[in-house]
């Protein structure tokens, strides 16, 4: 197959390891391996631990493809299972990041006794099947050698452990820190936050202060020199395994329960009558079943996941987006306990959604570039964007449409200005600031971008639901 084949696309986020690279060919996810990586893959596939991890769903499904459907130059080609929706660590809640870290450590702990390690420790090596984490960077496995430290330790600290320490010990939301730097949080950024008695908090002295001191001391030393020093000091695979177990014990102890949030109890306090709620659920269910079964549904402003669960009955996968990290964390913990593999909860401010990041702004794709949903649910969201965040109604509609695939269904709820929730938001704004926040203005904007197929006034009379088809 020639490289010019228009169906073949290199994954923009897979270029940092020259030994292997990920490509997309239709729905197939392929990984090209060079000669050395191909030899390592055959040893990995023949090991005792790797097939077991794949069978347990902890590592993504992987098989070698013959003949290789990639351009010449790769010694072997693997096919991976496709992850339903690719997310980024700065879109995860605290418990999600902790479970991802624990899975990474579990995999490393299984690999070391059989002579393998991972050369990366990045949070980006993990993804999700609903509320279940899965390790995806099969190319990261490499033979372990005595005297060599875990090559992924620094990445693990910067993208997993340090964010968890910020949340558990300081009560800080880590998401803005990870979003700001694709390589995560540096030890130099952590040290000023953990001075004085905070140095004694679990994990801080060893993994922040001592780690930073070692980096400074060895800044001018080559990797070979560091390995030689460790080998001479008796650093062995057994010590490496003990270190991993120690980090795993630390991560299990870290926890964060967010402060009380209005949104945690939103379903009880939002003011819907029983008739409103029943009518709304019927409308949404009918929209979800109006066309072919959806592969992907976006539930924007998902809160406790009530409508995400409804959507999951009629779709392959649902991404439940909510701004409040505490709400997402509670939803994730519930979904995880239920073994839910169709609903992925994410932390995101819809007025400031995840942009493209990393090298040239495409190494980490933006939320809009990843979405392309078959159904978009925007329930009780429009008024928060238009009034709460001062986004003009036409822009709100454009933003919702941008997340949908052509021909997708959009279900939107318009909260009238006289609704108690809208009045509460308007009370904090200057008089006359939103003269265009009206039902007819919203309907015109929606009709300009979509074909409205249904509308329903809820029994309370202050909210209207719309079903529309995008791009018609």
What's the pLDDT score for residue 376? 98
Res 266 pLDDT > 80: no
The pLDDT > 90 percentage for the chain reads 80
Res 463 pLDDT > 60: yes
What's the pLDDT score for residue 66? 87
Structure tokens at 159: 């993208």
Nearest to 281 by CA among 373, 377, 371: 377
Q: How confident is the model at residue 264 (pLDDT cuts 50, 70, 90)?
A: low
Residues 6 or more apart from 213 whose CB is under 8 A from it?
none
Whole-structure pTM value: 0.93
- Please state the rounded mean pLDDT for residues 257-271: 58
Tell me the pLDDT tens digit for each residue of 71-107. 778 999 999 999 999 999 999 999 999 999 999 999 9
Q: Is 374 helix (H, G, I), strand (E, B) or coil?
A: strand
User: ∠ at Cα 17 (12, 21), nearest 5°?
Assistant: 50
Tell me the pLDDT tens digit for each residue of 439-461. 999 999 999 999 999 999 999 99
Q: How confident is the model at residue 433 (pLDDT cuts 50, 70, 90)?
A: confident
What's the pLDDT score for residue 1? 41
Q: How confident is the model at residue 2 (pLDDT cuts 50, 70, 90)?
A: very low
Tell me the pLDDT tens digit for each residue of 373-408. 999 999 999 999 999 999 999 999 999 999 999 999
CB crowding 261-289: b at 16 or more within 10 Å, else e? eebbebeeeeebeeebeebbeebbeebbe
The pLDDT > 70 percentage for the chain reads 91
What's the pLDDT score for residue 236? 75
**Mean model confidence pLDDT for the chain:** 91
Q: Is 191 exposed, middle or buried (0-12, 13-18, 19+ CB in 10 A)?
A: middle
What's the pLDDT score for residue 123? 98
Q: How confident is the model at residue 329 (pLDDT cuts 50, 70, 90)?
A: very high
CB distance 322 to 399 below 8 Å: no
Tell me the pLDDT tens digit for each residue of 185-198. 999 999 999 999 99
What's the pLDDT score for residue 3? 47
Res 184 pLDDT > 70: yes
- Please state the rounded mean pLDDT for residues 38-58: 97
Higher-scoring residue by pLDDT: 292, 212 = 292
């Amino acid at each position: 197959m020639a490289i010019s084949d228009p169906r073949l696309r290199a994954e923009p986020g897979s270029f940092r390891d020259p030994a292997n690279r990920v490509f997309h060919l239709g729905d197939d996810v392929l990984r090209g391996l060079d000669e050395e990586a191909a030899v390592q893959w055959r040893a990995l596939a023949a090991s005792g631990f790797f097939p077991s991890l794949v069978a347990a769903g902890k590592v993504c499904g992987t098989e070698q493809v013959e003949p290789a459907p990639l351009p010449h130059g790769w010694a072997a080609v693997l096919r991976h299972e496709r992850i339903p929706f690719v997310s980024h660590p700065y879109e995860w809640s605290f418990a999600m990041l902790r479970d991802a870290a624990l899975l990474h450590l579990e995999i490393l702990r299984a690999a070391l006794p059989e002579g393998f390690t991972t050369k990366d420790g990045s949070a980006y090596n993990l993804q999700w099947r609903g509320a279940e984490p899965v390790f995806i960077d099969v190319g990261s496995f490499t033979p372990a050698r005595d005297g060599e430290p875990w090559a992924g330790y620094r990445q693990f600290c910067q993208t997993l452990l340090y964010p968890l320490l910020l949340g558990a010990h300081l009560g800080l939301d880590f998401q803005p820190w990870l979003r700001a730097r694709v390589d995560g949080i540096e030890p130099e950024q952590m040290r000023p936050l953990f001075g004085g008695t905070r140095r004694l908090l679990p994990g801080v002295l060893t993994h922040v202060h001592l780690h930073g001191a070692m980096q400074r001391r060895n800044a001018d030393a080559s990797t070979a020199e560091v390995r030689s020093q460790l080998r001479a000091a008796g650093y062995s695979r057994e010590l490496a395994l003990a270190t991993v177990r120690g980090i795993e014990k630390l991560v299990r102890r870290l926890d964060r329960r967010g402060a009380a949030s209005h949104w945690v109890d939103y379903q009880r306090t939002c003011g819907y009558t029983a008739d409103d709620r029943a009518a709304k659920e019927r409308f949404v269910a009918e929209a979800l079943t109006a066309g072919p079964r959806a592969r992907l549904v976006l539930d924007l402003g998902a809160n406790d996941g009530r409508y995400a669960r409804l959507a999951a009955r009629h779709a392959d996968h649902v991404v439940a987006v909510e701004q409040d990290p505490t709400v997402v964390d509670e939803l994730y913990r519930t979904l995880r306990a239920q073994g839910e593999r169709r609903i992925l909860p994410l932390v995101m401010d819809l007025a400031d959604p995840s942009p493209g990041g990393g090298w040239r702004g495409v190494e980490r794709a933006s939320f809009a570039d990843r979405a392309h949903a078959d159904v978009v649910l925007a329930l009780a969201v429009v008024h928060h964007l238009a009034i709460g965040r001062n986004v003009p109604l036409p822009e709100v509609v454009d933003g919702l449409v941008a997340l949908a695939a052509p021909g997708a269904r959009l279900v939107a709820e318009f909260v009238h200005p006289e609704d108690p929730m809208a009045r509460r938001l308007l009370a904090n704004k200057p008089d006359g600031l939103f003269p265009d926040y009206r039902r007819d203005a919203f309907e015109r904007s929606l009709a300009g971008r979509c074909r409205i197929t249904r509308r329903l006034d809820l029994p309370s009379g202050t909210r209207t639901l719309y079903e529309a088809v995008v791009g018609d």
